[in-house]
Amino acid sequence: MIMQQKILLVDDREDNLLSVQSILEPGGYQFVKARSGREALKVLLSQIDFALILMDVNMPNLSGFQTASLIYEREKLRNIPIIFITAHGEDERNIFKGYRAGAVDYIAKPVNPQLLRAKVAVFADLYSKNQQLLTQEQRLKAANANLENEIKERMLSEKRVNELNRQLIENINSLESANKELDRFAFMASHDLQEPLRKIRTFCDLLINRCLDQVDDEGKLYISRIENSAARMQRLIKDILTFSKVSDDNDEFAETDLNKIIQDILTEYKHEIEEKKAVIEVKKIPSLLTKQGLMYPLFSNLISNALKYSKNQEPVQINIWSEICVTEKKSETPDLNNKYCRISIRDNGIGFEQKYAEQVFEMFKRLHAKKEYDGSGIGLTLCKKIVEQHNGFIAVRSEVGAGSTFMVTLPVKQSVKSNNISNGKQVREFAP
């Protein structure tokens, strides 16, 4: 929709006003009329959105030129063009030049309607173009303001992200220190718990060795129950102690012969292996960089589990083998550590439902009653912790009645800053 353009007509004579209005009427303008310079100034106090002012020069009191001078004194009105209607032609034109030069034009009396229409149309067109430019400028200014706001917001959100990042790092640090604290507590607690426990066991022993003839059968049963519980508790404490030591362990990575470690473990379990008539097949495992001290508890737990969770009827068959695999890393940085060695330990034991595959690595998670299969519920948690200390991972595939296969995947090489890997990764992912 095109806005109706406003024109201010100033003339002391009503008939002149009417004739100009009738000439311009077809242009579709809106007219505001003033009968004197003073009245024109009054109108302009409240309305300033005129495309043009048509002003008679010859007016009593304030002449057209004087009125124009007063109009142009006001900053806001300076852009409104004025067409003077003169009676004396060229002579008068030069008078106003003394006042001001600008968007000013002249038309002589008697007014030629066609010329008047043409002149007014030019100014009206100029005005509408001006208005368009103004709206465009406003739009641009608004867009600019939006953009500035957006930038501000973006800076704010970046700040927020940075703050979150900082908090995250702080949280990681406090978690780590809490973890260390906990490990220290576990170490101290289990250390202190061992002493009274040792006494319970020793006194039990003395009771059995020295006083058993004074105890009836029921009493003997109680004593053996005490002994069993104390022995179990001792195993538990020992496992917690080992567990708490794992993170404490500042062992350096060293070239490790896992074949020898596994042979040592098999020697330790010689008695159980013979008892269960177990056949254990071990294929050669390549040498890896590991924290050597942690490899024995890792494989000892896995092998003893394979022996323990066996079926009664069948001879136990355990296979241990390894394969080298390469994993596709998501990171763009070239990483030489994507070569992994996967060591599998497969048994033909009772197995479990695959849905427990994650849970078995949780602390104190046990799938079987103590009466059936004894254990502290720490062994596999310890395994997981050890493997993670090597930047590796552990998983299990299992089926009820068919047995389990535990897979330990360790990097063939270790990056220098192995301890900081997990931290760095998280920080990078949250960077803006």
Partner 1 sequence: MQDNPDKAKTLIVVEDDADDQYFLQTAFKEIGFNEHVLYLDSAKQLFEYLESSGSVSGYPYAILVDYNMPAMNGEETLIKIKENKDYSDIQILIYSTTISDLQIKVLKDLGAEGCYIKSYSASEIVSFAKFLQQKIAKAVFR
Which residues contribute to the site for partner 1 (CB under 8 A)?
Answer: 191, 194-195, 198-199, 201-203, 205-206, 209, 234, 241
Question: Residue 150 or 205: which CB sits closer to partner 1?
Answer: 205
Residues written for the chain: 432
Question: Residue 245 or 366: which CB sits closer to partner 1?
Answer: 245
Question: Least Å distance between CB 208 and partner 1?
Answer: 8
Question: Least Å distance between CB 245 and partner 1?
Answer: 9
Q: Cα separation of 211 and 409, whole Å?
A: 53
Question: Residue 201 or 342: which CB sits closer to partner 1?
Answer: 201
- Candidates 350, 250, 230; CA nearest to 292 is 250
Q: Cα separation of 256 and 261, whole Å?
A: 9
- Please give the DSSP secondary-structure letter assigned to residue 252: P
Question: Residue 201 or 365: which CB sits closer to partner 1?
Answer: 201
Q: Cα separation of 61 and 384, whole Å?
A: 104
Question: Residue 234 or 405: which CB sits closer to partner 1?
Answer: 234
The token pair that represents 176 in the structure block: 């780590």
Vertex 196 angle, CA 192 and 202, to 5°: 135
Q: Cα separation of 342 and 335, whole Å?
A: 19
What lies within 8 Å, CB to CB, of 202 at 6+ separation is: none
What lies within 8 Å, CB to CB, of 3 at 6+ separation is: 128, 131
Question: Least Å distance between CB 204 and partner 1?
Answer: 9
Question: Residue 192 or 399: which CB sits closer to partner 1?
Answer: 192
Q: Cα separation of 386 and 389, whole Å?
A: 5
Question: Residue 3 or 212: which CB sits closer to partner 1?
Answer: 212
Question: Least Å distance between CB 292 and partner 1?
Answer: 13
Question: Least Å distance between CB 206 and partner 1?
Answer: 5
Question: Least Å distance between CB 248 and partner 1?
Answer: 11
What lies within 8 Å, CB to CB, of 320 at 6+ separation is: 262, 280, 281, 282, 283, 285, 303, 343, 344, 345, 346
CA 308, chain centre distance (Å)? 45
Question: Least Å distance between CB 240 and partner 1?
Answer: 12
